[in-house]
Chain A
Amino acid sequence: FGLGAKPIINRYGFCVADPGDQEPLYRSVGGQNQALRPRRILDGIVDGVRVGGNCSGIPTTQGFLTFHPGYKGKPLVFVGTVGLIPRKTKAGRLSHEKAALPGDFIVVLGGRVGLDGIHGATFSSEALTGGSPATAVQIGDPITQKKFSDAIVKEVRQRNLYSSITDNGAGGISCSVAEMARECNGCRVDLEKVPVKYPGMAPWEIWISESQERMTLAVPPEKWSELETLLKSRGVEALVIGEFTDSGRCQVSYRGEKIMDMELEFLHNGQPAKRLLTKVRPSEENVVSLPPLTELPLEDLFSKMFKRLNLASHAYVSTQYDFEVQGGSVLKPLVGSRQIDGFTTVVQPLPESSKGVALSQSLYPAISDLDTYAAAATAIDTAVRNLLAVGTPLSHIALLDNFCWCSSDDPERLWQLKECARACYETAICYGTPFISGKDSMYNDFRGFDSSDQPVTISVPPTILISSIGVMSDISAVRSFAFVKPGDLLYLLGSGGPEIGASEYLALLKEEGLSTCDAQGQVPKFAPADQLPLYTRLQEWTAAGNFRSLYPLAQGGLALAAGKGALAEGLGCELEIPAAERPDLFLFNEYPGRFLVSLTPEMGAKFEQEFAENCFTKLGRVRADEEIVITQNGETSLQTTVSTLLDAYRSTFAGF
């Protein structure tokens, strides 16, 4: 609500190491200053989002957990909020336009300032070492926020009591006030007027503290008394700490003493551009050798895929978050009577409007190790496809990027970043899906020691998270991935390939000792432009409500899509693998651009006709019982049951 929008959806994403990893890490030598273990970190992150989200009365519908050894030193935590705001205010002004005027009071409201959150912004972009400050972390109190967010969104905004508004994030008031000062070209702040949690804070600490739950407003003097009275009656502390000016300067004092007096122009644009060098990272010859199919226990591998950290049920997290508050959750985080984790959620923000907001995301950190261009392009494709699959039109999808990089002074790492950014640009242009926001965090590295005092450096894999948001005009287009009726036809839409580089399947083979090959393999190569005809046709079909279910293939490939489709309502399926395909690669490859769809038998002929120019494979049908039967040339390749898979799927995090 940096603009006074009503927060309507919260989202989350946690990148952590294997919670079963017990090998200790230390920030200092001699077994001193032990880093938290992955399980403890995960539990803490889950709790933090629970308290913050639930107490705020904002539904936390959409999220993900991603596991990778590279997140052991420094986990990544992503949280975000979707806001709803009228296009225009009652006064006829566009809601996103704001302008502090010279003479407006600078008003801070909400929580008080303390020593918590000092250097928070710089801390998040530095390698974590023994010297990292403990006070960098803010101490939150969601109820303080809830009190003033209710007041602002439901009362202050309507009464038009401010001319500009900004939330206090990184840098605290030093950023919020200085940013707003650009609107009128100047500000003057008396730091002793800023409410503090306790005495003894130095002026510079007050100026930059990132203590949470605070907003900065520009309030015309004649409106201050009305605002002050209203906020007081809502239990919200608000104080005038200075005024906006047109002096062209940012002037800060403390008890009459000058602390800072700087040209605004220099403050905002004074830093000289940094020149950095990149160097092409050579790609390795990377061909994996796989054991012959006859040596592989396919049925066993199939259920083990459902146990993998990245593919197993994370329902223990989503059920701790209130995804129902505000009453708009229509496609929920868990799907079907068996409550299987979904990939996209849909919220209907207004009870009388048929419009829906769809949210999803995608990231492929494992691919980043090999090819950051492919990692970004694949993530964008998946994040977009996840929305298409629930009935969102391509024309109403927007993206957000989060670059979380490591050792960014290294020219090869910088080159990887450049390749990643190029993929973001080219893929987004191709799909016509604009990036509307984003954020980055560099230097996600840990430098410390193991238990025998050997130096250890752990860097996150270059991580590009793509979050997607879409608006659909009619929520009746929503479909889940659950198979709903025996006899329904199953088709694979889109074309794939045999590459399994950086896939969950290859990782499983290595963990099981079934592949001794060191190589990471080739990652799927695909051209987004080739996908457009399929996506265009698909969205006509979703709008018409012609599908019974859709699953956009991602990690785990077709196996995961078919398995989860079957698990959701406990209906099995039979799939015939094309004669030319190697069964395991066909089932487990993670090629982007594809969907598993189910439709009524009556719709089959029409489907095959209308999708004739797009690539599809007729796979089989939904069964009335719980059997999952996969055949090739009429012979059974593997057979399992819904209950076997469900047990596997729920087992990994059963004790969490």
Chain B
Amino acid sequence: MSQPKVLLLTGYGINCEEETAYAFQACGAQTAIVHVNDLIAAPKQLSDYQIFVVPGGFSYGDDTGSGNALANKMRHTLWPELMDFVAADHLVLGICNGFQVLVNLGLLPGDGDNSFGSRRVALIANSTARYECRWVNLLVAETDSVFLGGVSSLSLPVAHGEGRFFAPPETLVELKQRRQIALRYVDAKMEPAQGSFPANPNGSLEDIAALCAAKGRIFGLMPHPERAFRLNQMPDWPERLALEPDSDWRQPGSGRVIFKNAVNYFS
């Protein structure tokens, strides 16, 4: 197989599906944006795809906790199909609100190899008690994430009110042993943020920004790689242009590699 098919969920306040679909397309995938109600009406269609994405947004307005309501809806309507999807050699990606959905759904971090369904960690209100839209630096942790192959660090924007990672101590130990911690917030010198704002924008435990499961095939992260897909989406682009007026805005931004890795997994 050379060109994987990507299903991106939409509806009920999801709002990053178009730019995320574009990122996959530009890396050579076929994409379909599917309304959650249409997927529920015909759940078997999930098996036509190799990559399942829950994009960022405000599903159900976050009114019952970020990602909670959509996760419940999916658990009660799509669970068998999701389990079949994960059991196959497929990829799942959750970005921001999508990560919150995967966590509430128990797809991340999971209960161990190929066992899912319990909510073991949480993404709670930011330590600043407010929504934060800002760029952060990230260091790839000791991980097997398929999406982060060959990557050591990233610069991506976050935009969320509830991104503070929390887990009980025993779960944290297990996550490390199983190499499930994927990204950590670092400062401008790429040193650990150690919980300090704004390098760690939400107060996440141990600066954790992303998790993976199922040998790195399920990946969820708070930052938005689709918003760092091109060079001109990076925050230093105008100053870079001043120094290099001929630089091409179509060049890759920091986040493109995540989509490339996902697509290349099927080549």
**A-to-B contact residues, CB < 8 Å:** 50, 54-57, 141-143, 146-147, 150, 233-235, 318-332, 334-337, 348, 351, 354, 475-476, 478-480, 482, 484-485, 545, 547-549, 568-569
> Is the beta-carbon distance between B238 and A335 smaller than 8 angstroms?
yes
> Is the beta-carbon distance between B37 and A325 smaller than 8 angstroms?
no
* Distance from A307 Cβ to chain B, minimum over Cβ atoms (Å): 21
A484 cross-chain contacts in B, Cβ below 8 A: 239, 242-243
B10 cross-chain contacts in A, Cβ below 8 A: 150
Interface majority SS on A: helix, strand, loop or mixed? loop
> Is the beta-carbon distance between B245 and A143 smaller than 8 angstroms?
no
B11 cross-chain contacts in A, Cβ below 8 A: 147, 150, 234-235
**Which chain A residue shows the least CB distance to B35?**
A234
A50, A55, A351, A545: the one contacting B230 at CB < 8 Å is: A351
**B-to-A contact residues, CB < 8 Å:** 10-13, 15-16, 18-19, 22, 26, 35, 37-38, 41, 56-58, 60-63, 130-134, 157, 159, 188, 224, 226-227, 229-230, 232-233, 235-239, 241-243, 245, 249
A150 cross-chain contacts in B, Cβ below 8 A: 10-11
Complex CA gap A147/B159 in Å reads 21
> Is the beta-carbon distance between A478 and B227 smaller than 8 angstroms?
no
Complex CA gap A484/B188 in Å reads 18
Q: Which 5 A-B pairs have the closest CB atoms?
A: A57-B15, A327-B19, A143-B61, A480-B238, A545-B245
Complex CA gap A142/B132 in Å reads 19
A233, A323, A548: the one contacting B37 at CB < 8 Å is: A233
B226 cross-chain contacts in A, Cβ below 8 A: 327
B56 cross-chain contacts in A, Cβ below 8 A: 325
> Is the beta-carbon distance between B224 and A324 smaller than 8 angstroms?
yes
> Is the beta-carbon distance between A327 and B229 smaller than 8 angstroms?
yes
Complex CA gap A480/B232 in Å reads 13
**Which chain A residue shows the least CB distance to B248?**
A476
B22, B35, B62, B237: the one contacting A233 at CB < 8 Å is: B35
> Between A and B, how many residue pairs show CB distances below 8 Å?
129
A56 cross-chain contacts in B, Cβ below 8 A: 15
Complex CA gap A387/B236 in Å reads 19
A142, A234, A348: the one contacting B61 at CB < 8 Å is: A142
> Is the beta-carbon distance between B12 and A141 smaller than 8 angstroms?
no
> Is the beta-carbon distance between B38 and A319 smaller than 8 angstroms?
no
A478 cross-chain contacts in B, Cβ below 8 A: 237-238, 241
Most buried by B among A235, A325, A330, A545: A325
B57, B227, B239: the one contacting A57 at CB < 8 Å is: B57
* Distance from A204 Cβ to chain B, minimum over Cβ atoms (Å): 31
> Is the beta-carbon distance between B232 and A348 smaller than 8 angstroms?
yes
**Which chain A residue shows the least CB distance to B15?**
A57
> Is the beta-carbon distance between A325 and B16 smaller than 8 angstroms?
yes
Supposing A54-B58, A234-B37 touch, asked if A320 and B19 sit within 8 A by C-beta, the answer is no
Most buried by B among A235, A322, A549: A322
> Is the beta-carbon distance between B19 and A323 smaller than 8 angstroms?
no
Complex CA gap A322/B130 in Å reads 12
Complex CA gap A354/B231 in Å reads 13
> Is the beta-carbon distance between B233 and A322 smaller than 8 angstroms?
no
* Distance from A515 Cβ to chain B, minimum over Cβ atoms (Å): 38
> Is the beta-carbon distance between B232 and A330 smaller than 8 angstroms?
yes
B58 cross-chain contacts in A, Cβ below 8 A: 54-55, 57, 142-143, 146
A319, A326, A336, A568: the one contacting B133 at CB < 8 Å is: A319
B241 cross-chain contacts in A, Cβ below 8 A: 476, 478-479, 545
B239 cross-chain contacts in A, Cβ below 8 A: 336, 480, 482, 484, 568-569
